């Protein structure tokens, strides 16, 4: 029998400030007659003193703090999963290692494959634990992505227009071990679908380029292709019956709705009313946090998983099917079981409460941030951050458990706890 | 099957998917985007058309047409190949 492996503990960090997406669309003059269909509400906006490192550390902090010193010492691998890297060589895992005070006997690295990165990290970590080379070891997988794509010049915001409303920021931390209290991965139950396509990319440090139509098409092809591969590997798998809940990579809810409809039509020729009811029942819960933080890229499918675990009635274990997609492109359909004790553990993290405490940016404040004058750009050698750039966003009194960026000296980023 | 028949099928799917366009004049020279069909709805229309035709073409291979007529030509071309 395969050992029981998966997510022991999990946390989501949705930043310190957000923007109302409807307000943004109105301000941009976007004609969206069926805006409600897109299932977007708010998006997290990274403040200048928030970077992918602060997001990642702030996500992982409650998980690591809850461990005993001995357990913390068993974290033997830290994988940062991101498409928002801050250096070509040095991985963000090194900063995580420092600010989370982890053991020096540890593998530190960073991986990339657009929004698929988190699933790649999870599978690498699970396979490390499954290898049995270090019995009892744990791995920390942290997805972290922010979107600052309007910095290049005055025209950049126009080029970004197609994804500006959905681009968010956020980090998900997952402790992977042989004590999967939150999510028990089904061993060997996965399917991949990948091919080269230029749908969306980040060709420069502050730019995103892409074609929304092509990206949607690749996402739909992958959703069907990855599920077919899953069904080929897993005897008796049935998309409608096998999974009590579903979590898909969520650029915005409307896209998930489209992919779900595609699968339900393709596999069962299901009528519209049945598809709509099934979406509400099996994917509705997964949108709980995504519609508040926006697209969190590498972490998006796990933001969905956290939403599901926190909001479903979990009287007994339930099987969840997950679909992860990263532009370029690579995708995976996999599954696992969520457990009542995991729900208790995740609810203790109070993700929703932290989201409620974010500062609501006005359009004027958002526009000022977009110009990027206060932002530390990729390759910055020296900088000092103005923590009062938006006075209302800075907490009046902190508990010393949130990391912010103070400055950069000789390319070295310095952070402090507030 | 000829391209004009596929154009008719696509137009019927557009009217089905976006009820606001049920009574609007639509021809093969129109682009779905300009008619106000959003990207999710466009993919719905294409998938439904392929379903009715009984053809399976990867969606990414149907990217690029500027109007409904070109899309119909491409579907015909890919389904023949």
CB-nearest partner of B40 from A216, A265, A266: A216
- Collapsing DSSP to helix, strand or coil, A74 comes out as coil
Here the tokens at position A312 are 């479903």
Residue A133 has pLDDT above 80, yes or no: yes
Widest pairwise Cα distance in chain B: 35
Are the C-beta atoms of residues B32 and B63 closer than 8 Å to each other? no
- Would you call A249 a catalytic residue per the annotation? yes
Question: Could you tell me if B24 lies within 8 Å of chain A, comparing CB atoms?
Answer: no
pLDDT averaged over every residue in chain A: 95
A152 pLDDT above the threshold of 70: no
Give the global pTM. Answer: 0.96
In this prediction, residue B81 carries a pLDDT of: 60
Mean pLDDT value across residues A180-201: 97
Check A214 against B39: CB less than 8 A apart: no
Domain span holding position B55: 3-80
**CATH number of the structural domain spanning residue B9:** 1.10.1200.10
Residue B4 distance to chain A (closest CA, Å): 24
Model pLDDT, residue A206: 83
Q: Rounded to an integer, what distance in angstroms lies between the CA atom of residue A60 and that of residue A41? A: 25
pLDDT at A86 over 80: yes
Tell me what ipTM this predicted complex has: 0.91
Nearest one of A298, A256, A208, A251 to A12, comparing CA atoms: A298
pLDDT of residue A110: 98
Confidence tier at A256 by pLDDT (50, 70, 90): very high
Q: Is A262 on the interface with B (CB under 8 A)?
A: yes
- Mean pLDDT on A246-266: 94
Number of domains composing chain B:
1
Ordered domains of chain A (ranges, CATH): 6-417 (3.40.47.10)
The total of other beta-carbon atoms located within 10 Å of residue B6's CB is 23
Instruction: Clarify whether A83 is annotated catalytic.
Output: yes
- Helices and strands in chain B: count of H runs, count of E runs: 4, 0
Distance between CA atoms of residues B62 and B59, nearest Å: 5
Question: In the predicted model, is pLDDT for residue A237 greater than 70?
Answer: yes
Comparing A116 with A38, which gets the higher pLDDT? A116
Mutation target vs B (from A213, A219, A251; most B CBs, 10 A cutoff): A213
| B5 in contact with chain A, both atoms CB, cutoff 8 A | no
Q: What is the pLDDT, as a whole number, of residue A141?
A: 99
Is residue A127 within 8 angstroms of chain B, CB to CB? no
Banded model confidence at residue A52, pLDDT cuts 50, 70, 90: very high
Cβ-proximal residues to A247 (8 Å cutoff; 6+ apart), any chain: A283, A286, A301, A302, A304, A305, A307, A308, A320, A321, A322, A323
User: Is residue A329 within 8 Å of residue A194, measured between CB atoms?
Assistant: yes
What is the tens place of the pLDDT at every residue in B7-48? 999 999 999 989 899 999 999 999 999 999 988 899 999 999
pLDDT of residue B80: 81
Q: Please determine, for residue A1, whether its predicted confidence score (pLDDT) is greater than 70.
A: no
Q: Is the Cβ pair A212, B39 closer than 8 Å?
A: yes
Each residue's pLDDT tens digit, A288-334: 999 999 999 999 999 999 999 999 999 999 999 999 999 999 999 99
């Amino acid at each position: 029998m395969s050992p029981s492996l998966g997510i022991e503990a999990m946390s989501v960090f949705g930043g310190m400030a957000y923007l109302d997406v409807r307000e943004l669309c109105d301000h941009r003059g976007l004609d969206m007659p069926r805006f409600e269909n897109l299932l977007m509400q708010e998006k997290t906006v990274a403040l200048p003193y928030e970077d992918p490192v602060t997001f990642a550390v702030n996500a992982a902090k409650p998980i690591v703090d809850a461990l005993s010193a001995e357990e913390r010492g068993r974290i033997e691998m830290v994988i940062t999963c991101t498409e928002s890297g801050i250096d070509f060589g040095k991985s963000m895992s090194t900063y995580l290692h420092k600010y989370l005070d982890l053991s020096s006997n540890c593998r530190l690295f960073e991986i990339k494959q657009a929004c698929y990165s988190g699933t790649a990290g999870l599978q690498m970590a699970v396979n490390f634990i499954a290898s049995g080379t270090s019995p009892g070891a744990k791995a920390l997988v942290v997805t972290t992505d922010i979107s600052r794509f309007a910095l290049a010049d005055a025209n950049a915001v126009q080029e970004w227009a197609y994804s500006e409303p959905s681009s968010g920021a956020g980090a998900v931390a997952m402790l992977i071990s042989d004590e999967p209290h939150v999510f028990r991965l089904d061993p060997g139950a996965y399917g991949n679908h990948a091919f080269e396509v230029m749908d969306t990319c980040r060709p420069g440090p502050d730019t995103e380029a892409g074609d929304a139509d092509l990206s949607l098409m690749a996402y739909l092809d992958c959703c069907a292709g990855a599920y077919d591969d899953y069904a080929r590997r897993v005897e008796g798998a049935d998309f409608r019956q096998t999974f009590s809940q579903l979590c898909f990579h969520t650029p915005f809810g409307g896209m998930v709705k489209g992919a779900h409809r595609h699968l339900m039509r393709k596999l069962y020729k299901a009528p519209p009313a049945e598809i709509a009811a099934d979406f509400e029942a099996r994917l509705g819960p997964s949108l709980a946090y995504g519609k508040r933080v926006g697209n969190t890229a590498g972490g998006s499918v796990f933001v969905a998983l956290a939403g599901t675990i926190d909001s479903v009635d979990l009287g007994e274990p339930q099987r969840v099917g997950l679909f992860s997609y990263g532009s370029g492109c690579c995708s995976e359909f996999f599954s696992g079981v969520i457990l009542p004790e995991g729900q208790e553990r995740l609810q203790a993290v109070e993700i929703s409460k932290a989201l409620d405490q974010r500062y609501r940016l006005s359009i004027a404040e958002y526009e000022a941030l977009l110009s990027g004058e206060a932002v530390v750009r990729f390759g910055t050698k020296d900088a000092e951050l103005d923590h009062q750039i938006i006075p209302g966003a800075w907490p009046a009194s902190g508990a010393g458990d949130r990391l912010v960026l103070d400055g950069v000296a000789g390319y070295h980023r310095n952070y402090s706890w507030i | 099957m000829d391209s004009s028949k596929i154009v008719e099928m696509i137009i019927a799917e557009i009217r089905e998917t976006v009820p606001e366009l049920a009574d609007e004049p639509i021809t093969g020279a129109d682009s779905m985007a300009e008619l106000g069909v959003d990207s999710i709805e466009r993919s719905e229309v294409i998938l439904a058309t392929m379903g009715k035709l009984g053809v399976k073409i990867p969606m990414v291979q149907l990217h690029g047409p500027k109007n409904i007529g070109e899309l119909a030509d491409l579907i015909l071309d890919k389904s023949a190949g």
